[in-house]
Every structure is written in structure tokens, then in C-alpha cells.
Amino acid sequence: MTTKTRFAPSPTGFLHVGGARTALYSWLHARANHGEFVLRIEDTDIERSTQEACDAILEGMEWLGLTWDEGPFYQTKRFDRYNEIIAKMLADGTAYKCYCSKERLEVMREEQAAKGERQRYDGCCRDLAPRGSDEPFVVRFRNPLTGSVIFDDHVRGRIEISNEELDDLIIARTDGVPTYNFCVVVDDWDMGITCVVRGEDHINNTPKQINILKALGAPIPEYAHVAMILGDDGAKLSKRHGAISVMQYRDDGFLPEALLNYLVRLGWSHGDQEVFSIDEMIEFFKLDDINKAASAFNTEKLIWLNQHYIKALDPEYVAQHLLWHMNDQQIDMSQGPELTAVVSALSERAKTLKELAQSSRYFYEDFEQFDEAAAKKHLRGVALEPLTLVQTKLAALTEWSQEAIHQVIEDTATELDVGMGKVGMPLRVAVTGAGQSPALDLTMLLIGQARCAQRLSKAVEFVANRVNS
């Protein structure tokens, strides 16, 4: 049988890291087994579901590269199907109409509470003869009264729940709208889902859903209930811990590879390996190896992985992601080097793409002022001679190559009988505006001869003014 998994978010907010990890595990299980992955939008809660949230979820999935083979299916488009099954269940007796009023249910609950009993429907309408059609009713599932539901969860192990603990679940409300647990069952069945991977907050729904599946004669999928993600302070991960929306990580300068690698290790391991390419994740991932315990989010580790991927991935690919940040920071790229070359030059130094974009600005745009501290330190009177000499030598270059630039810096230092730093540092501040950059010859190569010349003149003028004032 082909493995088929699904990710079934409710579109009530953005795609958060917890949801993304569930989606990743579900996707990996499908990919690892040459199976299929379905995306289903559980939007039956009409009041809380929004189109923006749907779009945000799709955007997050696409950005992460968690491609789906079927869907997105929207539950709100499947009401006819749900109603068809409800009618069938009413006809074959696996469901029944319940006419109990709110008031009666209220009294029933109070009595149960007073006696210290577990609150559940008392089955009053289970065996009633059908009544006139104008009386309001809900439809309840006829849960078995005896026996138990047993399932082997890939994460939590064997779970057994006695049917006595379970209610006759409402599957359609008075207004005829089918309920959440029921829609999930019909969907998992219709979509041929063989393994349900979801958050452990749904574990209590599983026995109810299994009973309905059994009543429908549907196959029972396997289950894997994934534990929660906690913040680094041990509390449930929330906005207070910083970014939790997947797209916020994009905005903050993370690569999808880094986030995926981070998320796969957050609750799953394969020996002590930390860095996994997507192919390795697919090769090694097993649901049975998911941790039972909740995992704590560790931003430092995510940054470490991001740095790793900025350095390790093909610069051309990194540049595609960097471009988003260049646009976001409104860096005018109409003049300047290929972005790929900038990635190669700066990748050793950047923790995030946001930082990388910030520190690449001088390759594309002229700056108004030198960094104050750097100018104070390096654009002093003593720099005038090296700067003027290097300026002349650079202007004479007929070939603008890294080697030639390097030679000019070296020759200037030799001629003036000073250390390379005495030439290099003022020159660096002159052409980049700041005291830090990748190797100076490479930096200048990328900035270009004409631009370097212009900036050097400006620096010479700056130093001369300072000396005279």
C-alpha cells in the first residue's frame, strides 16, 4: 500500500514553527516511503478561519519547500460529502438524532458534577424512535458501550482507552454543520491517509476518530502524535519567545534549509549527527525515532545552522534568497557586482541573510559618510601619504584584478617602508566606509575601479581637510 500522509492546518493564523515541524515530519515520512503528501485546510471554523491565514500557510509551506502531491483541499468545500455520510450513518444506525435541549444537558452535567462523575452524554436519545422533522436535533455518533480502543502510536507507544470513557460525540450540530472530529475522519478516509502525523494536543481525539472509522468500515491509519515545542525557558513556545512564524524567520534572514534542519532535530535524532541535507533527512527519518518528550527551542543553534548553510550552499542559490533581503532593504542594485560574487565574499562573516544584505550595501551604493570610529582611527594625517600614493598606483592599473590590486597595496607599503596595515586600513575605510570588510583586494575588485577611485578621492579630501583644520 502506498504511504500517504497529510498536513491539516486550521487557517486561524500564520504557519508557526510547531506546525512546520509537524508538516516536515509528515512530509518526510511520505518522501522516505516513496509515498504521497496531502495538504488539507481545515477551515470549518468559519468564524476563526481567514483567507490571509490560508495564504500565509501556503506561503510558508512553499518557502520551506514542503511540496504537496494533492490539495490543498478545503473542508468547507466538502460539506455535501460529510452530509452524505451523516445520512448514511443515520440510516444504518451508527449515528442517531439527539433532541436533548441545552437546558436538559445543563442539568445532566450539574448532576454528574455533584456526584463526582465524569461529564458525558447519558445516552437519553440513543434508542428513541425518530420524531417529527421540525424539532431541532443534533446528530450523535453511536459510540460502542463496551470494549476499548487500542492503537500503537509511533511516538507514544501503545494506547488503550476504554469505550466507557468516550462520549456519543456530536457529528452534526443543530444547524446541520458537521463537527471537526467527524470531518477529519471522512477526509482521512476519502483521501486514503495511511499515517496521521499531528500534534499531541490531538491525541484525545484519536480514539473517537478510530471508532467512527470502524463504524464506517474504513481502514484505520497509523498515528504519530508529536510532542510540543517549548521556549528556551521551558514554557510553551509563544510569541513572547521571539519569532514563531515561519515567514518571520525568512524576514529575519534564515535560509529554509537551516530552519528545516533545525526543526528536524528538534525532537528527532539520528546518532549524534546535527547537519542534515534534505536528502539525508529523507534517507534517515523514521517516525519511531521521534522523541516523546517536549523539546526546547534554541535560537543559538538555529543561528549556527544558518551560518553553516550560508557558507556551505551554492552561492548562486544563497543569492536567490539574499535578493529578497536586498529588495526588502531597498538596496539599489542597478550598479555593482553580481550578487553571487558578493555572497562568496561575505558568506564567512554573516549569521543571517539580513546581516549579509546590510553589509553588502557599499558594493552597490555610495555612502555619504565614513563610519565615525573607523575614520577617527584610520583616516588621520598619517594616512594622507599612503592614500595618495595608492590612489596614483590604482589609477594606473590597466587590469583590475585581485592580484594587481594586491600588488599595488604591497608596493605602496614597500615604497613608504610601512606595514601593510598602514596602507590597507585607511584604504579599507576609504572604499567601504567602514573598518571591516572581506579581503581588501577582493572587496575592491567587486566595488570596481571607477568607484574605488571616486571614493579614494573623497577620502583623500577628507584627510586633507582634517589636517588643515
Contacting residues toward ligand GLU, per CB under 6 A:
8-10, 42, 184, 198-199, 202
Report cis status (omega within 30 of 0) of the bond before 426: no
CA distance between the termini of the chain: 84
Q: How far is the CB of 351 from ligand GLU (least distance, A)?
A: 32
Bridge-based pairing state of the strands 157-162 and 148-153: antiparallel
Q: How far is the CB of 187 from ligand GLU (least distance, A)?
A: 9
* CA-derived radius of gyration, the chain: 32
Q: How far is the CB of 221 from ligand GLU (least distance, A)?
A: 10
How far is Cα 369 from Cα 362, in angstroms, rounded to an integer?
11
Q: How far is the CB of 11 from ligand GLU (least distance, A)?
A: 9
Q: How far is the CB of 8 from ligand GLU (least distance, A)?
A: 4
Q: Is residue 138 classed as helix, strand or coil in its secondary structure?
A: strand
In terms of DSSP H, where are the helices of 239-360? Answer: 246-251, 256-265, 278-284, 299-312, 315-328, 339-346, 353-358
How far is Cα 161 from Cα 401, in angstroms, rounded to an integer?
74
Q: Which is nearer to ligand GLU, 15 or 427 (CB)?
A: 15
Bridge-based pairing state of the strands 4-7 and 36-41: parallel
Burial 401-428 (b: 16+ CB within 10 A, else e): eeebbbebbeebbeeeeeeeebbbbbbb
Q: 205-216 vs 79-92: helix axis angle to the nearest 10? A: 70
How far is Cα 139 from Cα 89, in angstroms, rounded to an integer?
10
Q: Confirm if 12 and 53 have CB atoms less than 8 A apart.
A: yes
Q: Which is nearer to ligand GLU, 68 or 276 (CB)?
A: 68
* Residue in the shown chain whose Cβ atom is closest to ligand GLU: 198
Q: How far is the CB of 193 from ligand GLU (least distance, A)?
A: 9
Cα 246 from chain centroid (whole Å): 3
Q: Which is nearer to ligand GLU, 9 or 256 (CB)?
A: 9
Q: Which is nearer to ligand GLU, 39 or 390 (CB)?
A: 39
Q: How far is the CB of 41 from ligand GLU (least distance, A)?
A: 9
Q: How far is the CB of 212 from ligand GLU (least distance, A)?
A: 13
Q: Which is nearer to ligand GLU, 78 or 321 (CB)?
A: 78
Q: 440-447 vs 420-432: helix axis angle to the nearest 10? A: 30
Q: Which is nearer to ligand GLU, 191 or 445 (CB)?
A: 191
Torsion from C-alpha of 132, 133, 138, 140, nearest 10 degrees: 70
User: Which helix (H) or strand (E) is 18 found in, with range?
Assistant: helix 17-32
How far is Cα 166 from Cα 120, in angstroms, rounded to an integer?
8
Q: How far is the CB of 195 from ligand GLU (least distance, A)?
A: 11
Residues with Cβ within 8 Å of residue 184, at least 6 apart in sequence: 8, 42, 205, 209
Q: How far is the CB of 307 from ligand GLU (least distance, A)?
A: 32
